[in-house]
Amino acid sequence: MTGLAVVTSSLTIIKIAVAALLLLLTIGHLFYRAFQLRRSRQVPAIAISACVMLLLLLGLGIAHIYSSTWRQIAREYGFYESRRPLQRLVTAVVLCGVPPLGVLAGLWAGGWRVYAAGVMALSCLLLALAVTKVISYHPVDAVMQIELILGIDLFEAVFGVGLIGVNVCLFQCVEDDFED
């Protein structure tokens, strides 16, 4: 059983390292494209998305490190058992509110360019998914933890596809800008 625990913790560390690397590469790509498009109306959306991704990287790291501490504090002060209604409300607000706001803000900040809006909308969707995972409402966790293939769960797969989508939209921002 000890060997299984070592393998499981090693896989978790590898997944965290891969996620951090992919987020860092995406952040680098966002800053690079923002610099390339510095005279474009798309820069605000790309810059905001870069900030969202930086917050996402920082937030997921902090949540991973301190989640057990927060859980213990909640138990000590008696909040742990009464948190369900608040978790349900915040999860609904985050999942239903953040992505549409990301689309609208992306259209506005991106100068009504579809690809810049896509970058921002996908960034906000990833943020909403990460916040939902940190909130840890058990019915949502059960869906997010469905294993798809080779130890990759639904959350990780959607997160990976979202990062790919952000990068594809970024490439299109450059091409879209040169069509004017």
Cβ contacts of 41 within 8 Å, gap of 6 or more? 110, 111, 113, 116
Residue 180's pLDDT is 44
Q: What is the C-alpha separation between 103 and 123, in angstroms, rounded?
A: 10
What's the domain count of the chain?
1
- Residue 3 pLDDT: 43
Structural domain span for residue 172: 2-178
pLDDT digits 0-9 by tens, 41-88: 777 778 888 888 888 888 777 777 777 787 788 788 877 777 777 778
- Residues 46/166/10/80 CA torsion (nearest 10 deg): 70
Contacts of 40 (CB under 8 A, 6+ apart): 111, 173, 177
pLDDT at 4: 39
User: With the C-alpha atoms ordered 75, 79, 82, 86, is the resulting torsion angle positive or negative?
Assistant: negative
What 3-state class would DSSP assign to 105? helix
Task: Write down the pLDDT at residue 110.
Answer: 60
Q: Which residues of 32-69 are buried (b: 16+ CB within 10 A; e: fewer)?
A: ebbeebeebebbbbbbbbbebbeebbeebeebeeeeee
pLDDT, residue 21, reads 87
- The confidence score (pLDDT) of residue 111 equals 63
pLDDT given for residue 12 in this prediction: 73
Rounded CA separation 124/106 (Å): 9
- Give every residue of the chain whose pLDDT is below 50, as ranges: 1-9, 175-180
Model-level pTM? 0.70
* Dist CA 153 CA 163 (whole Å): 16
